[in-house]
Structure 1
Amino acid sequence: MAQNPLHLGVALDGYGWHPQAWRRTLAADPSAAPVTAGRHWAQLAETAERGLLDFLTIDDSLAAQPGRHKEIDPRRLAGRADAVLIAARIAPLTRNIGLIPVATTTHTEPFHVSKAIATLDYISHGRAGWQARVSPTAHEAAAFGRRAVPDAAELFDEAAEFVDAVRRLWDSWEDDAVIRDIATGRYVDRDKLHYIDFAGKHFSVKGPSITPRPPQGQPVVAALAHADPVYEFANVAADLVFVTPSDEASVRAILGAVQHRVIADLGVSFSDDGDFRSDAQVFAGTPAQLVELLLGWQDLGLTGFRLRPAVNATDLPVIVDDVVPLLQRAGRFRTAYRHGETLRDRLGLPAAVNRYTVARA
Structure 2
Amino acid sequence: MGDTADDGLRLAIALDGTGWHPASWRVPGARARELLTAGYWVDVVREAAEGLVDLVTIEDSLGLQADGRRDPGERTDRVRGRLDAVLVASRVAPLVPHVGLVPTAVTTHTEPFHLSKAIATLDYVSEGRAGVQVQVSGREDEAELVGRRPVLPVADLFEEAADWVEVVRRLWDSWEDDAEIRDAATGRFVDRDKLHYIDFHGRFFSVRGPSITPRPPQGQPVVAALAPADVAFELVGRCADLGFVTPRTTSDIPGILAPIRAAQETAGRAAEPLPVLGDVLVVLADDARAAADRLARLDELAGEPLHSDALVFAGAPVELADLLIEWRRAGLAGARLRPATIADDLPAITRQLVPELQRRGAYRTAHPSPASWSATLRGRLGADRPANRYATAGGAR
Global fold match (TM > 0.5): yes
Q: Is the 8 A contact 1:47 1:317 kept in 2?
A: yes
CA distance in structure 2 between the partners assigned to 1:150 and 1:263 by the alignment: 28
2:170 maps to 1:168: yes
User: What residue is the counterpart of 1:336 in the other structure?
Assistant: 366
Cα deviation 1:141-173 (Å, max 9, x = unaligned): 000112101110111111100110000000000
Q: Tell me which residue corresponds to 1:15.
A: 18
Q: Which amino acid aligns with 1:39?
A: G
Whether the 8 Å CA contact 2:5–2:382 is kept in 1: the answer is: no
The residue correspondences of 1:221-260 to structure 2 (distance < 5 A) are: 221-259=223-261, 260=274
Q: Kindly state the Cα deviation for residue 351 of structure 1 after the two structures are TM-superposed.
A: 2.1
Report the Cα distance in structure 1 between the residues aligned to 2:29 and 2:343, rounded to whole angstroms. Answer: 9
Match for residue 275 of structure 2 among 246, 256, 261 = 261
Partner of 2:58: 58
Residue in 2 that maps onto 1:304: 334
Is 1:154 the counterpart of 2:184? The answer is: no
- Structure 2: distance between partners of 1:309 and 1:167: 31
Output the TM-score relative to the length of structure 2: 0.87
Residue pair 1:70, 1:139 contacting (<8 A) in 2 also: no
Shift of residue 34 of structure 1? 2.5
CA contact (8 A) 1:33 1:40 kept: no
Q: 5+ unaligned residues in a row in structure 2: which ranges? A: 262-273, 285-290, 296-304
Structure 2 counterpart SS, 1:169 = helix
CA distance in 1, matches of 2:31, 2:108: 36
Give TM-score scaled by structure 1 length: 0.95
2:218 alignment partner, one of 216, 219, 237: 216
| Kept after mapping to 2: 8 A contact 1:138/1:148 | yes
2-side partners of 1:346 and 1:33: how far apart? 34
Amino acid at match of 2:119: I
Quick one: distance in 1 between partners of 2:143 and 2:32? 33
> How far does residue 31 in structure 1 lie from its aligned partner after superposition?
5.8
Q: Identity over the aligned pairs, expressed in percent?
A: 53
Instruction: Quote the Cα distance in structure 2 between the aligned partners of 1:162 and 1:287.
Output: 39
User: 2:265 maps to what in 1?
Assistant: none
Q: In the alignment, is the contact (CA less than 8 A) between 1:197 and 1:207 conserved in 2?
A: yes
What is the root-mean-square deviation in Å for CA atoms of aligned residues?
1.6
Runs of 4+ in 1 over 6 A off after TM superposition: none
Superposition map of 1:12-51 within 5 A? 12-24=15-27, 28-29=28-29, 33-51=33-51
Aligned equivalent of 1:90, options 76, 89, 92: 92
Does the 8 Å CA contact 1:9/1:305 hold for their aligned counterparts? yes
Rounded Cα–Cα distance in structure 2 between residues aligned with 1:248 and 1:106: 32
Query: Structure 2 CA distance, aligned partners of 1:55 and 1:65?
Result: 23
Q: Distance in 2 between matches of 1:54 and 1:156?
A: 27
Decide whether aligned partners of structure 1 residues 248 and 30 sit closer, same or farther in structure 2, where only a CA change above 3 A counts.
closer
**2:391 match: secondary structure:** coil
Mean alpha-carbon deviation: is it higher for 13-22 or for 245-254? 245-254
Can you list the C-alpha shifts for 1:172-197, whole angstroms capped at 9, x where unaligned? 00011111012211111111100000
SS in 1 for 2:387: coil
Distance 2:327 2:30 in 1: 39
Aligned equivalent of 2:306: 276
Task: Provide the aligned length of Structure 1 versus Structure 2.
Answer: 357
How big is the shift at 1:2? 10
CA contact under 8 A between 1:2 and 1:331: conserved in structure 2? no
Match of 1:192 in 2: 194
- Report SS of the residue matched to 2:390: coil
